[in-house]
Structure 1
Amino acid sequence: MTAMGVSIIIACFINDRTIEESKGEAVAEVVDTSLTRTAVRFNTDEGRVYIPPNGVLYPADLQTGQLVRVEFDSRNPDLVRVAGRNAMLSLLPVGSMLAVVWAVLLPLYWLFRRSANR
């Protein structure tokens, strides 16, 4: 679980770096929000209307119909994030999840070690 959590954080930083290398900016309309993704529609620099199939990165507090500024990788518009948000937002949820996992596992490990020594 720790390796997965760290991998998620690293992936977020890699995505942000990729967007920064070839950044395009647009105003997007939030088309749909669900538990698994938030879909947005925006025009790329070439004027093409685009809806990334995986949704937008860092979608907290977005509502359907809302207009929001986005930044995207102009080489690959599938990679899009809400403007002004970055990988730092991944630290709290992933860190909290890891804290809970270790708060449960460490006492269990201690109990099992203690009973095995008896």
Structure 2
Amino acid sequence: MSRTALRRVQLVLLSAAILITGLCAVLVAAAWRDDVTIDADRGTATAEVLSAGPRRSTISFYTTDGVNHNPPLGVLYPSELSVGDRIQVEYSRSDPELVRVAGRSAVVAVVPAASVAAGTWLVIGAIMVLLAVGYHRGDGSRPESSPDVPHTVDP
């Protein structure tokens, strides 16, 4: 691999790590924004869990005006819910489709997002180091492979 190719691969890896870290930051910022929206015009209700999963759970609840809501995107911060559970939720009265499990906030998104970002940097950093070490041990550091160094023969 040439020095130019090595640099390009390293730049692609670095760009990928920056992109993934940025996406993690956007995820946490979006969760925080949703919390601010709910807190600005908060309503509370008791909801029934219709389906449950670690990343998405659907619920059904009635707002104070008697309207039944089944948010299509589910409830925010759905971990540790089971089908049939009756839970307290907080929702935005101006947008009842935006709802979270009561007592939970964007703080629960920080650890998973930070873990993904840190893991990304560890893996990509290790790959970059291995590539650089391999380059310097291989053809890249030997003078005879460099086109700028004239070849001499000892008599």
Q: Which category describes the TM-score, using the shorter chain as reference length?
A: over 0.9
Return the match for 2:104 from 82, 85, 92: 85
Distance 1:24 1:8 in 2: 24
Contact 1:45/1:74, CA 8 A, preserved across alignment = no
Q: 1:43 aligns with which of 62, 69, 78?
A: 62
Q: Which runs of 5+ in 1 are unaligned?
A: none
Pairwise CA RMSD = 1.3
Give how far 1:26 is off: 0.2
Q: Using the alignment, how far apart are the partners of 1:59 and 1:96 within structure 2?
A: 19
TM-score by length of structure 2 reads 0.72
Give the whole-Å Cα distance in 1 for the aligned partners of 2:34 and 2:27: 11
1:105 maps to what in 2? 124
- Which letter does structure 2 place at the counterpart of 1:21? A
CA contact (8 A) 1:26 1:43 kept: yes
Aligned length: 118
The equivalent of 1:15 in structure 2 is 34
Deviation at 1:108, TM superposition (A): 0.9
Q: Which moved more, 1:15-24 or 1:26-35?
A: 26-35
TM-score for both structures, normalised by structure 1: 0.93
Larger C-alpha radius of gyration, 1 or 2? 2
| Greater strand proportion | 1
